[in-house]
Structure 1
Amino acid sequence: MSKHFINDPSSIVLQSLQGLCAINPKLSLDPNNKGPNVALICGGGSGHEPSHAGFVAAVCGNVFASPGPTQVRRAIELVDNDKGTLIIVKNYTGDVLNFGLAKEQFAARNPSKVDKLRFLVVGDDVAVGKTQGSIVGRRGLAGTVLVYKIAGALAQNGASLDEVYTVAEWASRNIATIGVGLEHCHVPGTLKFEIGMGIHNEAGVRRLPQVPPLSELIETLLDLLLSKSDPERGFLPIRGSGKDKVVLLVNNLGGLSELELGGIAREVITALSAQGVAVLRVISGTFMTSLNMPGFSLTLLLLPSSSSTAALPEDVILRLLDAPTSAPGWKWTSGVPPSPLLPLPRVLTSQRVADQARKMRAQDVQSFTHAVERVCNALDKAEPEITRMDAVAGDGDCGLTLQTGALGVLVHLRSGSISGEDVVGALVAVSDVAAEKMGGTSGALYPIFFSALAQALATSDIRVVAVHDWSRAVSAAREQLYAYTRARPPSRTLVDPLAAFTEAFSTNPSDLRSAVKKAAEAAEATRDVEAHVGRSAYVEAGLLKRERVPDPGAWGVKVFLEALARAE
């Protein structure tokens, strides 16, 4: 927090988006209206403003972190329409997996709408060479915005989903981007601080040992602007008692992100309202900088009262401010007062399933329940071992991720919300729990796979799920998973044992143990597989060769499957 004007790192995205909606009342964080055209959804981590919320319907995660699938699925539900929805994401693992998982979860709940969804991944970075990017592909950069613009304009003209997707896909293949920067950025949450600095780097009037929470800072700044008791202040003839009306200018001194600027605007509007000051216009942006000073300034224009002898009345001053101009330094303004800042629910709950699929029962309901319980207990017990592996081959959280998901499933299993009486419902519930509780790549891959399993079963005509039904569903789920990951065996990822299991199980569904043995062998073999994708791709190759640690994600699949096949 010491380098950013925020209240709390965990709330910066929500506060910035609220500020954005206050500045432009035509925007909404949770729109209820659905248009007649193909809908576009984009999104990803915050910190790239004005992307993504500045272009099309967007789902925003925390700074540089993909939003979770529950958020994305909520967006798909909100824009759901008869013409269809195109989801466009930049080529980053978290974005592809979480947006893809949301698409699959929505499709699992709404089988009749599968054909109304399209998914497009954009990679336009030429800094990643063709050899290096032959597997993972190019990263998505600013060229994605042009895809948004082209696809959005086409959709607005009434084109079909297939037409919009085809043109957008063409555009994504014909875009190239290169970036350059002087230094890395600083992520919020990870000094000397001065109030009253000039635009030529002059010292401030107050020095603080650290940056206070944004709400406290704004109170201090407004006190300097509006104080009636400080003889050194009082430059504005404030009357108080709710009689004052102002125009607010939030100015970026050069080094602030749009993300922070929106949050600052929100905080100032909230604080002025609490003091009984009416804000009739908000103008926010970069107007007068001090080169790249990481700071901002606040300006209040006190509007004349009805009894004032000012040269121009309030409405004329506002009309002058609202008048259009071609001056390139002037930012767009709404021309209306900011919208009320209403509190949002902490969690956006998903709408209920639109298509109520017929329930499918497991052949042996009790065995199904026991199998789920064994898997969860096994993953819980294996956490230390998998964590140790991931400390060498990844970022050290794989064991905890799997354990968290397993314990979450156990809670639902013991409450009866996961049951062999409704296999599709159970798979959807497992996917939901994993998506909510787990993080990282596993936290997207597992839910995608379980959602795909649910889809494969839900679209069949069976009433009791037999072994051969599971075999077909597992094969279909693997292919669905491949749509969102470039990993193919041998890849030193969880795909290795999963692919080995799927191939053996589809060949001989009656021999589950042999299929599990094949998966275990594939997981063991990851000790000697060169990493091209996944967590280990970023680890020194020499370290992996010396330690001969298997891939933690692959080992988790091994633990999962061995527990599944274990006799009671």
Structure 2
Amino acid sequence: MSVQSKHFLNAPENLVVESLQGLCALNPQIALDVADKVVYVAKQDRSKVALICGGGSGHEPAHAGYVGDGMLTAAACGTVFASPNTSQVRRAIDLVENEQGTVIIVKNYTGDILNFGLAKEQYAAQHPEKSDKVKFVIVGDDVAVGKTQGKIVGRRGLAGTCLVYKIAGALAKRGGSLDEVYAIAEYVAAHVGTIGVGLEHCHVPGTAAGDSHLAPSEIEIGMGIHNEPGNRRLAPVPPLADLVPQLLDLLTSTTDPERSFVPFKGKDRVVLLVNNLGGTSELELPGVVRETRAALDKQGFVIERVLAGTFMTSLNMPGFSITLLLLPDGSDSSAPSAESLLSLLDEKPDVPGWKWASAAAPAPPAEQIKQTAGTRPAGVSQSTKLRVEDAKAFDAAVRRACKAIIEAEPEITRMDSIAGDGDCGLTLKDGANGVLKALESGQITGEDVVGSVIAVSKVAEEQMGGTSGALYSIFFSALAQGLQTHHSGASTLSPVLWSAALSSALTKLYTYTRARPPSRTLVDPLDAFVNALASSRGADLTGAVDKAGAAALQTRNLEAKAGRSAYVEGDRLKKEHIADPGAWGVKTILEGFVASA
């Protein structure tokens, strides 16, 4: 897959400062030192411990998005993926000067440790009386890098750092002492692990557009948040149900001498954080939560809290990470209690970067998923029983039409990515798969045409959705009505009856859509087919299908008047010279239906 290399900005060199200025407009309680790119709480309560974080930009909302009441006091921001320099960090320390002391929390990257550490030592040298008032916490939660490989540099800091910010920040707000805030930050840092996975690397604004790092069928496990290589690559991309257990094996292993970083014992109480690395859709992320929760339940873990969203990104990387915080089991008297950690985690900070999370453990799956079987209204009674002369040929024709749509999905999707919103091919494919299942289960059969048409209408309604699903469902519902209205006591479907029912269905459809041919929509081939069939009183099915095909092809030359294509700039449609995807779908269905067996 290609790397997304286009960005919204004025100039790359101004991006970080302009982003921080926008953040200050979003969060009036914070201020920005422009020269040193330090975001800080403008009216700090100096009777409480201050927390400083920071690092390279490009990980938003970390770090500046967590500055505010109840979390962090200041963040020193470097350029993209580059540590802030020592003077920037010194400025942050000076800005949060207070009575109780300061805790600096940094991710385990060499540049961050050196620059933040040097700033701490410079401050202590200039203020020896306060040398014990600044504490330093390093977070390394990445489990992708084994102990041997990382024996000198240690583990990289990833999204687990955000849990350290949150819990330590809440304790500082409560008035915890410097030693208490430092101790709880250290405890969380030592009991958190993270593993990430990406579909592709990210692109740094202002750099040349790079080639894809991964093949279209590859993913990379353990990729760092600065485009560092991962632990391994997998191909093809596995389904989540297979991928997530592999990630959790790396995260929770206690037998692998290279990766038993967190002292899990079995049936542990944990906090789960699923983090969007920047380019994963909000539709996909809850699916990751679902699979992770199921896999942890299977392993016997007790999930006390679930957090999900964008916490620490790698710019626009299409990927996610899974973080587990091991809660204390009560065996260590020096450790905080699990309840105290959860209480601190549950407090809502007044910062834009922290995502909503429930202050309760997730309900058991059996209680969470409400059973709705039997609650739908019963179907309309059906007294008309119509069959076709050759039921097997009818069933085979339906199967061909469905398979034709499934095979055509990529091309219809390509068309719709230009002329619409890109979902037409998948919507039709979903409908075709639903019809095939109904065919295999006997709900669709040439022995009961009216029942079959009603079944197709329900598939369109329930499995296709959207505009296409509604139009198909209305048309087939109206077709079922037409078959029952015009059957005149017949038990076998005739071409004349087919034609009459189709005409009445089209008439009913027109009461719900303003589209009329020529309109560059699916009604163009549908209208051509129905009217051509009516002119032959149902005798020339092949000729009617040919008329529909010609009408679908003609949509390449039409101005869009209805449907999603009406919102697409007209010159683009002319330049691409593509048919309407919905019209192409109708053409494909009809041609598949009449094709030779």
Q: Identify the TM-score tier after normalising by the shorter chain.
A: 0.3 to 0.5
**TM-score, normalised with respect to structure 1:** 0.45
Q: RCO higher in 1 or 2 (8 Å CA, sep ≥ 6)?
A: 1
TM-score, structure 2 normalization: 0.43
